[in-house]
Every structure is written in C-alpha cells, then in structure tokens.
Amino acid sequence: MFRKRLSILAAALMLTTAAHAADKVKVGFLSTLSGPGAGLGVDIRDGFNLALKHLNGKFGGLPAEVIVADDQQKPEIAQQATEKFLKKDKVDFMTGIVFSNLMLAVGPAVFDSKTFFVSANAGPSQYAGEQCNTYFFNVAWQNDNLHEAVGKYVQDKGFNKVVLVAPNYPGGKDAMVGFKRFYKGKSSEEIYTKLGQLDYAAELAQIRAQKPDAVFFFLPGGMGINFVKQFVAAGLSRDTQLFAPGFSADEDVIKAVGAPMLGMFNSSHWAHDMDNAENKRFVADFQKEYGRLPSLYASQGYDAALLIDAAVRDTKGKLDDKDAVRKALEAKRFKSVRGDFKFNVNHYPVQNYYLRVIGRDAQGRVTNKTMGTVFANHADAYAAQCKMK
C-alpha cells in the first residue's frame, strides 16, 4: 500500500517537472563492435561521433552523454545491455543497432519504457508495417529498399537465372523478399546461410552446379568480404555477374577485398561522391579523422546524431514531453548527407535510391561511383499496414 502511494506521488512529481528542460542528453549507443559484423557497428559509431564532434559535443545545445555498448551480435547480450540503458542509465535516446534480429529482440523493452530509438541501420519490415511504433524512427531505409533497387536493375538488364544468397535472419529474409518484389525472372535457388558464416565452400559448389547468369548476395560485413573473395577464388566470377545491395559492396568490403570487386553493381541511398555541401564536409572530415573513406553505415550514424540534435533543439531540451519529441523527430529539421528525405507515416524514410558501380577513382583507388537513380522518392511496401497511434 505504502509503495503504491509513494509511486503515485512520484508520478505526480514527474508531471509537474515534465515541462522542465533536461540538463544533458543521454544516448545509449548499442552496436555490433566485435566479431564478423563489427565493421558495420564501428562505422556507425565513428559516423555518429564525427557528427557529435561537428556539434561540439552537444545535442540541441545540451551536453551529450553517449554510453557505448557492444551487443556482440547476440540477441541476449543486446537485451541485457538495453535493460541497463533503460533501467540503470535511464537514457533519453537509443541508437546504433546494426542487425534487425537484435532490433526486434530489444524493441519491446525500449518502446515499453517510452524511449525513442533512432535506428541508424536496422530497418525490419515488422516495424515498418503492422508493428510500427511511435518510439521507433529509422534514418537509413527499410531493409527491403536497397534490395528492391538491385532487383529492379537486374530485371531491367534482362538476367533471368539468378541465385540469391542471404543469411538466415529477418534482415536476410527481407532482402530476398525485397529483391523478388521487382525481379520477376527465375530465381533458381535461394540459399540461406548461417548468420556469421565465413566459409562458403559448400554454397559456392551449389552455385557452380546451378550455373546461373547472376548471383545476388546480401552478406553484410565480414561475411560479404569472405564470400566475394571465395567467389573469385573459385573461378565463378568468370561467367557469373555479382550483384549486391550497397551493404555488401561498400568501402568496408572494398578495402578488404580490393581489385576483384571491380565492375560490381550495387545499390545505395547514399554515396561518398554525392554532390552536396553536407556530404562533402562529412566525407572530408571522416577521412581526416579516421583515415578511410566512410561507408553508408557511417553516413547513417552521422544522420542519426543530426536527427537527435534537431529533435532536442526543437523541443528546447524538454525530453520528458514525449509527444513533442515525437513531433520534432517527425519534422526532421536537419540536412542529411544523402540530400533530402522525409519520414513516412511509419517513421521510415521516403528517398531516392541510386545505382553504383565499383571502379577506380581519379586517384586510382578502388571505390564506388554513382551511376544513376533507380527509384526516386521511393517508400517501402509496408507503410500502408502501419496504423501509427
């Protein structure tokens, strides 16, 4: 009885303090920082930190406290870290998660505690459709989108015997669905691999036996690095064209694999050669800071920080007013490095998707070059099912 009355009292106090501004902004940054998927998490983190540096360590003028945790790409580790963020550190925002399966694992706890999650990567179809949530925002894309773009290009180019390879997890399934939404030819084989698998000898033998025209693979991080290397080593690149979403053909993979990737087509919503002032500053400073070209993951981490900054500024630091924070996030008052985009009803971006090809740039480096636009102002296929409350 006593406890209950106490908590009612506490709730009343909370209401009266609700209008007061916070004195700092706490962000829980949970990402994959070890293991084969670590490259992605590290890029998101570095992008996020670069933005924070550009913002002088402040979000919306308030000192920022960013607590970084490694989810080791394991759902239960992610959950434990999230619980700590929510119950111990009591963060105002969470961000950073790379893999959709982890997002789905921690989502319920985050939303239950009315904490905003600004996803810098994971964009599971569930949260775009029926399970869309007031507290979930994605600054990157819905999982299917980049795959849709490749599917459309492969369809337009007239390939008609394609093998699809993706890891067996929600992001992998979204990839296959997305690709097939626009590719209408024969998908002779759909190979699901174990998430985190590194030796693809068996799959490559299977592909060789199928003799496809093209292979579409979605294997983020270290998985993709190994797949491309082994694909080339097996001699398959001689008669089979490789296609991938930008995830598997960005600077992290190129740096590791090098020349064998030349000529590979891939899709992205961003590229480091995009011509706008924000992007030029981002790319230049990223290279200065970390000594490598940024990947799309880094750009997403950068944008996530900018979105949080804009929301805090809009609400004048009154982060307890959840409604106001939501509206500020939806308004998206910042300039993205990818050019312009806006949020759909499901809090996923509506934006352009481009085709890139891997070639040598003016300095002779192997890198991505933007070829053209595949989709303009493209929304995901699930938004219609979202009844945002």
Partner 1 sequence: MGLYVSSTRRRALAVAALVGLCALPWLAQAAGQGFYVSFASRVLIFALAASSLNLVLGFGGMVSFGHAAFFGAGAYCAALLAGAGVAAAPLVWLAAFGAAGLLALLIGALSLRTRGVYFIMITLAFAQMAYYLVVSLPGWGGDDGLPLSGRAPLFGIDLKDDTAFYYAVLALLAASLFAFDRLAHARFGRVIQGIRENETRMEALGYPVFAYKLSCFALAGAFAGLAGALLASQSGLASPSLLHWMQSGTLLVMVILGGVGSLYGGVLGAVLLLVAEEVLVEITPHWQIGLGLALLAVVLWAPQGVAGLFARRRGDD
Partner 2 sequence: MTQLILEQALNGLQFGLMLFLLAAGLTLVFGIMDMINLAHGSLYMVGAYLAAAAAQASGSFLVGVGAAVAGTALLGVALEVSLLRRLYARDHLAQVLATFALILLANEGVRMLWGAQPVLLNAPDALAGPVEIGGFFYPSYRLLIIVVGLAVAALLYWVVARTRVGMWVRAGASNREMTEALGVDVRRLFTVVFACGAGLCALAGALLGPLLAVQVGMGESILILAFVVIVIGGIGSMRGALVGSLLVGLVDTLGRAVLPSLLREFASPEVASTLGPALASILIYVLMAAILFWRPEGLFPARA
- List residues binding partner 1 (CB under 8 A): 74-76, 79-80, 83-84, 87-88, 101, 104-105, 108-109, 168-170, 194-195
CB 79, min distance to partner 1, A: 6
When the beta carbons of 73 and 133 are compared against partner 2, the nearer one is 73
End-to-end CA distance of the chain: 33
CB of 241 to partner 2, least distance (A): 17
Q: How far is the CB of 20 from partner 2 (least distance, A)?
A: 39
* CB nearer partner 1, residue 129 or residue 151: 129
How crowded is the C-beta side of 205, counted as CA atoms within 13 Å? 3
- By the rule CB under 8 A, 208 interacts with partner 2: yes
Interface with partner 2 includes 35 (CB under 8 A)?
yes
Residue 34 binds partner 2, judged by CB under 8 A: yes
CB-CB contact of 317 with 107 (8 Å): no
**In 157-295, which residue ranges form alpha helices assigned H by DSSP?**
170-182, 201-210, 222-233, 251-257, 277-290
> Pairing state of beta strands 265-268 and 241-245?
parallel
Q: Which does 43 bind (CB under 5 to 8 A by kind): partner 1, partner 2, none?
A: none
CB 269 within 8 A of CB 353: yes
- Contacted entry of partner 2, partner 1, none for residue 369, CB cut-off 5 to 8 Å set by kind: none
- Of 204, 208, 163, 203, nearest to 183 (Cα)? 163
Q: Examine residue 230 and tell whether it contacts partner 2 (CB under 8 A).
A: yes
Binders of partner 2 among 110-129, rule CB under 8 A? Answer: none
Q: Which of 228, 281, 243, 309 is nearest to 64 (CA)?
A: 309
Q: How far apart are CA 196 and CA 15, in angstroms?
A: 46
One symbol per residue from 209 to 228: x for binding partner 2 (CB under 8 A), - otherwise; what is it? Answer: x------------x--xx--
* Residue found under tokens 């939303």: 111
Contact pick of 146, 191, 305, 355 for partner 2 (by CB under 8 A)? 191
Is residue 256 part of the contact set for partner 2 (CB under 8 A)? yes
Which residues, listed in sequence order, are joined to residue 66 by a DSSP beta bridge? 27
The single residue among 21, 109, 198, 388 that binds partner 2, judged by CB under 8 A, is 198
Of residues 84, 155, 181, 192, which one binds partner 2 by CB under 8 A? 192
CB of residue 195 to partner 1, shortest distance in Å: 5
Using DSSP's 3-state secondary structure scheme, residue 217 falls into strand
* Among the listed residues 206, 241, 276, 370, the single contact to partner 2 using CB under 8 A: 206
Tokens matching residue 99: 């893999």
Q: Is 252 exposed, middle or buried (0-12, 13-18, 19+ CB in 10 A)?
A: buried
The letter for the amino acid at 177 is V
Q: Give the integer Cα–Cα distance in Å for 14 and 32.
A: 35
Chain residues 54-73 in contact with partner 2, contact rule CB under 8 A: 70
Q: How far is the CB of 171 from partner 1 (least distance, A)?
A: 11
Q: How far is the CB of 55 from partner 1 (least distance, A)?
A: 25
Question: Judged by CB, which is closer to partner 2: 14, or 201?
Answer: 201
Closer to partner 1 by Cβ: residue 80 or 237: 80
In angstroms, the CA 136 to CA 116 distance is 6
Contacts of residue 50, defined as CB under 8 A and 6 or more positions apart, other chains included, come to: 282, 285, 286, 289, 298, 302
Q: In terms of CB distance, is 168 or 377 closer to partner 1? A: 168
Under the binding rule (CB under 8 A), the answer on residue 97 touching partner 2 is no
Q: Give the closest residue to 247 by CA, choosing from 375, 164, 157, 141.
A: 141
Binding residues for partner 2, rule: CB under 8 A, are 33-36, 38-39, 42, 70, 168, 189-194, 198-199, 201-202, 205-206, 208-209, 222, 225-226, 229-230, 232-236, 256, 260
